[in-house]
Amino acid sequence: MSAVAASLADRLPAFPWDKLEPYKATAAAHPGDIVDLSVGTPVDPVPEVVRKALVAAADSPGYPTVWGTPELRDAITGWCGRRLGAQGMTHRGVLPVVGSKELVAWLPTQLGLGPGDTVAYPRLAYPTYEVGARLAGARPVAYDDPTGLDPRGLKLLWLNSPSNPTGRVLDAAELTRVVVWARQHGVLVLSDECYLELGWEADPVSVLHPEVCGGSHEGLLAVHSLSKRSNLAGYRAAFLAGDEKVLGELLLIRKHGGMMTPAPTQAAAAAALGDDAHVRAQRERYAARRTKLREALLAHGFRIEHSEAGLYLWATRGESCWDTVAHLAGLGILVAPGDFYGPAGDHFVRVALTATDERVDEAATRLTA
């Protein structure tokens, strides 16, 4: 390994999913085959309206623009107004990105953060928040309450509501309190809202909602993805919305870096954002799967915390998460250990709703047998 590669590897945490391979092998050996509930990857068809738009744009020989087509920007601003309550948003307030994980991982670097700067994220969180800080050479800090953080050196504050992995939702009052605090201290707020369309026992609200931001998007960016709501994980379609000044700087940086969403994907994303019917249909599928899995887990002796929104059930049997993973693997069911998302999750597992109806039924049968 070169000195450069070794230095980079030292800055990054170990890739956690490799640890799950032996348990995956155990689950796959079950006579009824594996039920993989470990990863939140969509399994349902891409909506027809999206596929038609993709095909229609297939003959796209020229380079796409980083800022996206006017049609895509219209679709994003329209959706933000319709779904987030962010009225009056202009094209300068939106920016397409090549999937939300790319954005999360490289945003601190693109913002020019480095040694001496702090990036904060929830104590139970998607691991890429920490990875992004480390890639930039910044200091990653996990929090329980962001307003209790030391603001000195704090440049970027990640929120995640609905949460991955816990499904916890921050209400408008909680979000407002954080926004006020962050503005007082000059901290940029990044709100990861990729599961906002999937509220079950709560109605998630965006940081860009007027009740939260006071009608101004200054110092605020929201991250949204089409992967879950529209089954477009394979398309890599996501976007930022919010502070026009920050987005203008990011647009320039991303132009230099050639970070372009492919033209057919832009057309597909515009179609997806303009159609609410397929989102309602997908919600119904996930709601039915959630009910079956939730009831089966409870019957099996699990306790479920939060999980009021999103694509996961945050469940515990009061034991080490790896003991639970092993127990379920013996039933042919694979789940994600909670410590993948931080030490505070070491007694929980994350159970994804992203399996076919047949596999979810099979998991429920095994859990309640």
Query: Can you spell out the DSSP letters for 288-346?
Result: HHHHHHHHHHHHTT-EEES-SBSSEEEEE-SS-HHHHHHHHHHTTEE-EEGGGG-GGGT
pTM, full prediction: 0.94
pLDDT at 87: 84
Tell me the pLDDT tens digit for each residue of 43-91. Answer: 999 999 999 999 999 999 999 999 999 999 999 999 999 999 998 899 9
For residues 122 and 206, state if they share a domain.
Answer: yes
pLDDT average, residue stretch 23-41: 97
pLDDT beyond 90 at 211: yes
pLDDT at 121: 98
Say if residues 138 and 114 touch (Cβ distance below 8 Å).
Answer: yes
For residues 183 and 294, state if they share a domain.
Answer: no
pLDDT average, residue stretch 9-32: 86
Question: Which of 249, 250, 15 has its CA nearest to residue 131?
Answer: 15
Distance of CA 53 to the CA centre of its chain: 25
pLDDT at 150: 97
pLDDT at 72: 98
Residue 137 lies in a domain: yes
For residues 127 and 267, state if they share a domain.
Answer: yes
pLDDT average, residue stretch 141-166: 98
Calculate the average pLDDT of the chain: 96
For residues 216 and 78, state if they share a domain.
Answer: yes
pLDDT beyond 60 at 199: yes
**41: CATH:** 3.90.1150.10
Distance CA 290, CA 101 (A): 25
pLDDT at 277: 97
pLDDT average, residue stretch 141-168: 98
pLDDT beyond 90 at 5: no
- Please report how the helices 357-368 and 277-299 are oriented relative to each other, as an axis angle in degrees rounded to 10: 10
For residues 182 and 325, state if they share a domain.
Answer: no
pLDDT at 93: 98
For residues 160 and 25, state if they share a domain.
Answer: no
For residues 261 and 165, state if they share a domain.
Answer: yes
Instruction: State residue 139 phi and psi, 5-degree precision.
Output: -95, 120
pLDDT beyond 70 at 8: no
For residues 41 and 25, state if they share a domain.
Answer: yes
Question: Which of 130, 114, 30, 180 has its CA nearest to residue 341?
Answer: 130
pLDDT at 18: 84
Of 240, 274, 308, which closes a domain?
A: 274
Of 257, 274, 291, which closes a domain?
A: 274
To which H or E segment does residue 225 belong?
strand 220-225
Tell me the pLDDT tens digit for each residue of 311-349. Answer: 999 999 999 999 999 999 999 999 999 999 999 999 999
pLDDT average, residue stretch 201-214: 97
Q: Which residue has the tokens 């490799």?
A: 18
pLDDT beyond 70 at 2: no
For residues 302 and 338, state if they share a domain.
Answer: yes
pLDDT beyond 60 at 196: yes
Return the percentage of the chain with pLDDT > 70, whole number. Answer: 96
pLDDT beyond 90 at 178: yes
3-state secondary structure of 284: helix
Of 247, 274, 301, which closes a domain?
A: 274
pLDDT beyond 70 at 4: no
Tally the domains of the chain.
2
> In DSSP terms, which residues pair with 113 in a beta bridge?
none
For residues 320 and 258, state if they share a domain.
Answer: no
For residues 238 and 328, state if they share a domain.
Answer: no
3-state secondary structure of 147: helix
Residue 175 lies in a domain: yes
Range of the domain at 194: 60-274
Residue 51 lies in a domain: no
pLDDT average, residue stretch 234-255: 98
